[in-house]
Amino acid sequence: MAEELKLFRTWSSPYSLRVVHALKIKGLEYETIFEDLSSKSASLLQYNPVNKKVPVLVHNGKAICESLVILEYIDETWKQCPLLPRDPYEKAKARFWAKFGDEKLSSSIWNVLISQGKEQEEAIAAAVQNLKLIEEQLQEKKFFGGEKIGYLDIAFGWTANLISILEEIIDLKLVDEEKLPLLSAWMQNFSDDPVIKQCWPPRDKLVVKFQAMRESNLKTVLSQ
Amino acid sequence: MAEVAVYGAWASPLSKRVEIVLKLKGVKYEVIEEDMSNPSVWLQNYSPILKTVPVLIHEGDPVVAPNVILEYIDETWTGNPIFPQNPKDRAKARFWIKFIDEKCVPAVMLACWGREMVQQMATQEAYNCLKALEDELRGKKFFGGNNVGAVDIAAIFLALWLGVIEEINGVKLLMHDQFPLLSRWVNDILSCSIIQETLPPRDQLITYLRTHNPNSFPSGT
């Protein structure tokens, strides 16, 4: 019997993109439902009544929410192309760094986007410090997962796309090839992967979106 | 150091989470008691990024972040599993643990301890969170079903710490008539002998929290 697999997502959500990456790496067929978050569908609200957010993966009628939870679900349900390490200690390390990416790293990158002047300089220093910590996890590997893309590469995947967009908007380099050589190389390797490459949202639309976010946040600060 | 050690703090719900799971699995461990406001050099070495309890040390290797520790324990000592075996149910459990740590507990803390202007909104948010958990309990004794599971252990804050901070602040959130299932769950979970023997005494916790800033507690995130 064909499995029912549906993904509720938005065109730009980096969290949704994680699920897309995982599904494609595993070679899974699925239906995409694009949501407009300003007018959420009845289906989304039914499948995720608690948080009402994307992404939601629906597998044979059952909804799984929260992108990192979905990644683990996909990995446990479809065993080909494993994403997480088998060893519990390595798994624990991967889970910790994914959380770090979502909490400390992403908020520090956000702070760079929404600040300017001296405040932005400080935000950049903090973000680069976090990026250095991430880079240390790569050691000499091509990917965080080793030779192939794994859970942590997918969890950090948003950096390979959104950091260069941020750099374009603020006209400053965050991931300097000299200061963060391994991370730079990883971003290139990740982005060049044939599965990943086909999934990026349109860059020009993303630039417009994040530019608008920067402007509206700067305006809010100025008016306080 | 013993084969398994926990850098923990007696008043921390996150530390106690780890100890409860180790006890449920019959794993012998040593506790190294930390002062949450002044982490030791050892703790900072083992957990250089978070610099906070709990940290699990297993055969010399540190595992940090409470929920990462819970999953590590469940995968390493496989008897008495606290996470469901089925991937869908496991995903649900992970979802609810994230919900408790990232939405419910912060809302409850703000509702009790926040400044007046945020308290009203936080109180509404706290009620919404408790309602979601109330609905999740429908038809079950524990969030884990018939037995205590990972979600119950994550929710232990609601069983003890919530009542304590309600009392200190003269606030009542978890009202019996509004949340009968959650209220019953609190009694049931506190009746479990392993949980009883692991949790700190209520009066000691009240005294401690009257004089210590709860925002100095390590967050679940």
Cβ of A99 and B132 within 8 Å? Answer: no
As a whole number of angstroms, the distance between CA B136 and CA B117 comes to 30
Q: Do B94 and A91 touch (CB under 8 A)?
A: no
Chain A hits for B95, Cβ within 8 Å: 50, 64-66, 69
Tokens of A55: 């992404």
For residue B214, what pLDDT is reported? 66
CB contact, 8 Å: A83 with chain B?
A: no
Whole-Å CA distances, B187 to B127, B131, B141, B154, B179: 19, 18, 11, 16, 13
**Backbone dihedral angles phi then psi of residue A46, each to the nearest 5 degrees:** -70, -40
Token representation of residue B194: 């392993």
Q: How far apart are CA B43 and CA A61, in angstroms?
A: 45
Q: What tokens does A119 get? A: 């405040």
Question: Which residues in chain B land under pLDDT 50?
Answer: 219-221
A45 in contact with B, Cβ within 8 Å: no
Could you give the 3-state DSSP secondary structure of residue B77?
Answer: coil
Q: How far does A143 lie from chain B, in Å, by closest CA?
A: 22
Closest CA to B30 of B11, B13, B54, B48: B54
State how far the Cα of B162 lies from the Cα of A9, in Å rounded to an integer.
35
Interface probe for A, chosen from B46, B55, B63 (most Cβ of A below 10 Å), is B63
d(CA A199, CA A153): 15
CA A151 – CA A169 distance, rounded (Å): 29
How big is chain B, counted in residues?
Answer: 221
Of residues B110, B123, B207, B109, the one with CA closest to residue B158: B109
Strands (E) in chain A, as ranges, are 5-9, 31-34, 56-59, 62-65
Q: Is B61 on the interface with A (CB under 8 A)?
A: yes
CB contacts of A76 in chain B (<8 Å) are 87, 90
Q: What is the pLDDT of residue B215?
A: 62
Q: What distance in Å separates the CA atoms of residue B181 and residue B79, rounded to the nearest whole number? A: 29
For residue range A15-38, what is the model confidence (pLDDT) as tens digits? 999 999 999 999 999 999 999 999
Q: Does B21 touch chain A (CB under 8 A)?
A: no
Distance CA B17, CA B23 (A): 10
Are the beta carbons of A92 and B71 separated by less than 8 Å?
yes
The rounded average pLDDT for each run of 10 residues, N- to C-terminus, in chain A (224 residues) is 87 96 97 94 94 96 97 97 96 97 95 93 95 93 95 96 94 93 96 93 94 89 63
Which residues of chain A are within 8 Å of residue B219 when distances are taken between CB atoms?
Answer: none
**Distance, C-alpha B93 to centroid of its chain:** 14
B114 Rama sector, left if φ>0, alpha if ψ -120 to 50, beta otherwise: beta
Q: Do B88 and A104 touch (CB under 8 A)?
A: no
Q: Give CA separation, B21 vs B14, B46, B71, B93, in Å.
A: 11, 21, 10, 15
CB distance from B71 to chain A under 8 Å?
A: yes
A92–chain B nearest CA distance, Å: 6
Q: Is B72 in contact with A133 (Cβ distance < 8 A)?
A: no
Taking the CA of residue B2 and the nearest CA in chain A, the distance in Å comes to 18
DSSP-H helix ranges across B56-169: 66-76, 87-99, 105-113, 116-137, 150-154, 156-159, 161-169
Q: Is B132 on the interface with A (CB under 8 A)?
A: yes
- Enumerate residues 6+ apart whose C-beta is below 8 A from B101: B66, B67, B154, B219, B220, B221
Three-state secondary structure of B158-208: HHCHHHHHHHHHCCCCCCCCCCHHHHHHHHHHHCCHHHHHHCCCHHHHHHH
Nearest to B79 by CA among B157, B23, B37: B23
CA dist A1 and A76 (Å) reads: 20
